[in-house]
Amino acid sequence: MSVSSYQIHGRTAVIAMNNPPVNALGLELRRGILDGVDRANADAAIDAIVLIGTPSAFSGGADIREFNTPKMLAEPNLHTLIGAIERSAKPVIAAISGGCMGGGLELALGCHFRVALADAQIALPEVKLGLLPGGGGTQRLPRAAGVEIALNMIVSGNTVPAQQLAQTQLLRGPSMGRVLTDSLRSPQYVPDALFDEIVAGDLQSGALAFAGKVVAEKRPLKRVRDLPCTHPEAEAYFQFARNTVRGMAGPFPAPLRCIDAVAAAVTSKTFDEGLAVERAGFEHLLATPESRALRHAFFGERACTKIPDVPEDTPLRPIRTAAVIGAGTMGGGIAMNFANAGIPVKVLEAGAEALERGLGVIRRNYENQVKKGKLTAEKLEARMALIQPTLDYAAIKDADIVIEAVFEDMDVKKTVFETLDATMKPGAILATNTSTLDVDRIASFTKRPQDVVGTHFFSPANVMRLLEVVRGAKTAKDVLATVMKLAKTIKKLPVVSGVCDGFIGNRMIGRYSAEALRMLDEGALPQQVDKAIEKWGMAMGPFRMSDLAGNDVSWLIRKRHYAEHPQMPRAVIADRLCEAGRYGQKTSKGWYAYKPGDRSAYPDAEVEKLIVDYRKEAGITPRRIDDAEIVERLIYALVNEGARILEEGIALRASDIDMVYLNGYGFPLHRGGPMLHADMVGLFGVARRMREFAKQPGADAEFWEPAPLLAKLAAEGKTFN
Ligand code: NAD
């Protein structure tokens, strides 16, 4: 089927875009529109042209799959198309419904008139991909909607309903823009050219009627490029905008470049001069690592829901009701996810007291949201009503899915899964939230291992977006597909992981933490390591993170590993810290000291002494480790384990690993995740640094042996992604 059509209604040609799902302006569609415009202009029986999309989208903009490919520039490119429409001798009317975003809005701005449904969604969201609108949007939108409104939209990337933009005079800008709009409002400037009419009822009929009026009244063609672009206090306004945005943009260069481009719309002598500033800004941003990272995250999120051997049309098991076993830290948060999505959920505990405590925590969580104005009191009650406590397995037997979140102990899990096997209805999905235990063993406690899957939530489970979906050896495809879909329903980002100790995220973080500890042995202090990596962009350094999660948690795991592998080297400093009862925030001391009612971490002389004493005992002469080395060692420890995880097929693709780190571990978005970061540094250089680390005194040479996949890609000059 063609992605566009051409139809004649009386003396008006209608070019309809039909390139699902969002009418992305790929090469074929651009050709179709241009052909339609040419055909209408050549036909003496046509007086006007209507360009229309589908109810859900006029156009979502450029086809970003064409980014960095020859197709993007292939003619007619977006500029050529917009120019041709603007120069059309016959009036072109954009009829806008649904999403009208990015290149889609730029296309509409190239038309002579625009009519829209009130609820059409208007945006130039390029900044969210680290770019600026590169199809003339920074030059035409300020002319059509006014400088301030345009700047707010372009810098924030936020979506505004057409109705609101039709009353531009009264408009309050979206979040970031509000500050700008309020302080330097210019009441004398009343832009009116963005929408000529808001259509009620059928869009195409409205657009055809409007076209009839334009022709009958012989209205002059309104070319946005010819409109004036002024601001009464331009210099002060842009200065103010730059100051405000600089602070909000963090490491991202795009928002300031957006301001430069909009400013050029005001200061340039000609339209084309402004367009050249826009073009230069776009090309600059396209090549920045920050934009590459944002686009990687955008595509990575879409990619991670696809599982190669599970067809997209796999029939799903209906999930209408759920149950959670265990109302502790995780169980409570997981239950909230279901209630928030309107799915009734039963929470089962071992005892009445734990149950009451668990439900109390849930209620207090919701109450805090009410206090912050994020939830109404009625919604709180509605959600609590969806969460039913029980002590009896018979009460949950009909649930479509049950998620176990009891103590991390194989014997406890065994009892629970045997009971679930005996009580749950056939076809119920039996999920475990275990962080470290073998999901295949857990499945083996049942006679229906095909129904067992891991759903590894992150703490706090009602907040964190990441969900590792652990695929057991026998997990059925429809169980996997159902859980992936359910994740979306409860607003999580699901990433599939194979079964291994720690799955993707924690297995890698184990290496990172081990390297952090080794640096203490060698000469660093916890605060130095944390500061270096936090400055680089991680939300929290390894020691602050460990204090938050509880140092005893990793201690327990270490003790298990020591028992299994007696030859294994000990993490003496970390073990001694726990032996001293310094479990972290929960005991008011860990790697740092904490004060009541204060979450700040204070360096503690007692910890320093513990570290220094150990070095003396072990005969280690401490050396200064600089911040750059700290960062490289921590991040490359992640990368090397990531490469192994990829090679073993635990992760399906490198971008899945990056999505885990961006959404579950506070990895800085502008760096795109550990694997993309390594790609951007260059794998050859990464592998070389690892070999250098291997030779340093005190290093674990085996640890730094580049994983075979990494070594291979580095040698071939290739990348993970
Ligand atoms: P928790 O100790 O806070 O809660 C466990 C709850 O399970 C307790 O309320 C306990 O009363 C209940 N329970 C114990 N045995 C039971 C049984 N036989 N039947 C019913 N209820 C029982 O622990 P948590 O931190 O919520 O961890 C739960 C699971 O989630 C563990 O497998 C853990 O590894 C995993 N996990 C924890 C985190 C985290 O950050 N805490 C993150 C991801 C996964």
More confident residue, 183 or 666: 666
Average of pLDDT values for 315-319? 97
Residue 70: its pLDDT value, please? 86
DSSP string, 203-220: HHHHHHHHHHHHHHTTPP
Residues 7 and 14: their CA atoms lie apart, in Å, by: 5
Query: What is the helix, strand, coil percentage profile of the chain, to 5?
Result: 55, 15, 35
Task: List b or e across 420-450, with b for residues whose CB sees 16 or more CB atoms inside 10 angstroms.
Answer: bbebbeeebbbbbbbbbbbbbebbbbbebbe
Residue 185: its pLDDT value, please? 41
Pocket of ligand 1 (CB under 6 A): 325-331, 348-350, 354, 358, 405-408, 412, 415-416, 433-435, 456-457, 459
Residues 598 and 604: their CA atoms lie apart, in Å, by: 15
Residue 207 has pLDDT above 70, yes or no: yes
Question: Angle at Cα 567 formed by Cα 504 and Cα 525, nearest 5°?
Answer: 65
Minimum mean pLDDT among 285-299, 333-347, 548-562, 632-646: which range? 548-562
Average of pLDDT values for 418-433? 98
**Cα 538 to averaged position of ligand 1 atoms, centre (Å):** 27
Residues 530 and 535: their CA atoms lie apart, in Å, by: 8
> What Å distances lie between residue 515 and 182, 196, 227, 524, 631, CA to CA?
50, 62, 60, 11, 11
Average of pLDDT values for 469-495? 98
The SS3 call for residue 122 is strand
The SS3 call for residue 246 is helix
13-47: pLDDT as tens digits: 999 999 999 999 999 999 999 999 999 999 999 99
- How many other C-beta atoms are found inside a 10 Å radius of the C-beta of residue 397? 16
Residues 345 and 336: their CA atoms lie apart, in Å, by: 9
Ramachandran category for residue 136: left, alpha or beta (phi over 0 → left; psi -120 to 50 → alpha): left
The residue contributing the CA closest to ligand 1 atom 31 is: 408
Residue 72: its pLDDT value, please? 81
61-105: pLDDT as tens digits: 988 778 778 888 899 999 999 999 999 999 999 999 999 999 999
Average of pLDDT values for 583-605? 94
Q: Is 647 a catalytic residue?
A: no
Report percent pLDDT > 70 for the chain. Answer: 96
**297 and 659 Cβ atoms separated by less than 8 Å:** yes
413 CA: nearest ligand 1 atom: 18
Residues 483 and 334: their CA atoms lie apart, in Å, by: 14
**Cα 639 to averaged position of ligand 1 atoms, centre (Å):** 30
Give the CB-side neighbour count of residue 537, counting CA atoms within 13 A.
17
Residue 177 has pLDDT above 70, yes or no: no
404 CA: nearest ligand 1 atom: 29
Q: Is 353 a catalytic residue?
A: no
Q: At what angle do helices 254-267 and 271-286 cross, to 10 degrees?
A: 170
* Cut 0.75: pTM above it: yes
Residue 554: which pLDDT band, with cuts at 50, 70 and 90?
A: confident
Mutate to test the pocket of ligand 1, among 392, 403, 407 (most ligand atoms within 8 A of CB): 407
Residue 537 has pLDDT above 70, yes or no: yes
**Cα 34 to averaged position of ligand 1 atoms, centre (Å):** 61
Catalytic position from the list 28, 75, 86, 106:
106
320-332: pLDDT as tens digits: 999 999 999 999 9
Residues 635 and 643: their CA atoms lie apart, in Å, by: 12
The SS3 call for residue 301 is helix
Would strands 160-161 and 113-117 be described as parallel, antiparallel, or unpaired?
unpaired
434 CA: nearest ligand 1 atom: 32
